[in-house]
Structures are given as structure tokens and as C-alpha cells.
Amino acid sequence: MTTHAGPIPHAKPAPAAPAGGAADRRARRAFRPRRILTSLLAALLLTAAGVLTALEAITALADRPARIVPYPRIEHWAQGTAWRDWAPLTIAAAVAVVGAFFLLAGLLPGRPRLVPLHGDDPDLLIGVTRHGLKAAASDAAARVEGVRHVRKVKLGKHKITMTVATSLRVAEGLQDKVTEAVRQRLADLGPVPARRVTVKVRTKGG
């Protein structure tokens, strides 16, 4: 079973368990983006090429070639064109760019919409939206005494960075307090992978 939640201001501490367990690995696979649009585009292009090739081959065997592709014109153009000319170079570059795009889309992971949360049961997968995780971290920081408001929260794959504002002119120790509060909230939620916390403090007049 898979479930997810939106903003989570509070959460009960999760029981301690070794990081990278079977449940965590399965959750990361389940919430991995599928790149559906890219896959659909590649499938359509391959299908179109396959149908075109089949039509040309079958009609040629039946001595009634469809000639959907004007091979004589292409052959004539190719014989009179050098590789250093701009036209073949442009076509080759375009094909290389399209191929590189599909290759990178298959190799590089996309940006997941849900962040998996640590669990012990591989059959119970829990995730939180990126906005929900940032809201939980922001709420933890805002509850620290001396913080006026949280200006910005940036969520990375292995790090969460935030900027908080305070009315104090001298905020000695506030950065450590906010960092610890956010770390505790993240430890309670258990995002996979775990995030380091970096806090910047903007003092009054700073």
C-alpha cells in the first residue's frame, strides 16, 4: 500500500531503524518519477518509424512500392552534397541532440513529486510532498523563540537550506537553536535520504 500526505506540521517520532533498509529502498523506487511524457514521445517516434519501414518493405515486395519516402530525391541530394556543407551538419547535429536528450532522460533521475519517509514495513510506503516537507521544516523553525518569520526554504536531495529573520540585533545562538529544531523535526518525519540542515539568520538591520 502506498500513501502520501501534504503539509505536516507535527508528526510522531518514528521508531529507530537502520537507514537504507528494504522499506526505504522500496519507497524510493516507488516514488521515483516515471518520465511518462518522454517515454510516450520515444514510443511514438519508434512506432512511426516501424510502421513506415513495414509499409515500404511490404509494398516493395508486392511490386507496388508506396514511395512514402522519396528515396530517389534523397539519393540525388546526398550524392551532390558534401559532409562539410551546412545542411548535413545541421541534420547530424539535430539527430545527436535528440539522441542525447532521450539518453539523458533514461539515465538521469527526475525530480520526484513525493519525498519517501522512513519506515519498517516494505508493504506500507509513506511519502510527503516537497511542499509539505518544507512546510514542516519552516514550522519547526518558526516556533523557535526569537524567530520573527521564515523567509525562504530550499529543499535539495541531501540538504535543506533556510533563511530566518529575527527582530534581535544580536542573535547569538539563534542559528544553532533553529538548526537543532529543524533537525529534530526531520528526524521525527524521517525523509529518505536524510537531509543536512543549513540555517542563515537575518538580524534586524542586517
The pLDDT value recorded for residue 25 is 67
pLDDT 10s digit of each residue in the chain, 206 long?
445 545 444 444 444 444 457 666 666 666 676 677 787 888 888 899 899 888 888 888 888 888 888 878 888 888 888 888 888 899 899 999 988 988 887 777 677 778 888 877 777 778 888 899 999 999 999 999 999 999 889 998 889 999 999 988 877 889 999 999 999 999 999 898 889 999 999 887 66
The pLDDT value recorded for residue 171 is 78
- What are 176's three cell numbers? 544553532
Query: Which residues, including other chains, have CB under 8 Å from residue 70's CB and lie 6 or more apart?
Result: none
The pLDDT value recorded for residue 47 is 92
The pLDDT value recorded for residue 13 is 44
- Are residues 44 and 37 in contact, defined by beta-carbon separation less than 8 angstroms? no
- What are 163's three cell numbers? 533563511
The pLDDT value recorded for residue 12 is 45
- How far is C-alpha 58 from the chain's CA centre? 43
What residue ranges define each of the domains in the chain, with the CATH number in brackets?
13-30+113-202 (3.30.300)
Tell me the whole-structure pTM to 2 decimals.
Answer: 0.58
- Are residues 141 and 182 in contact, defined by beta-carbon separation less than 8 angstroms? yes
User: Which residue, among 194, 21, 10, 30, has the nearest Cα to 119 in the 3D structure?
Assistant: 21
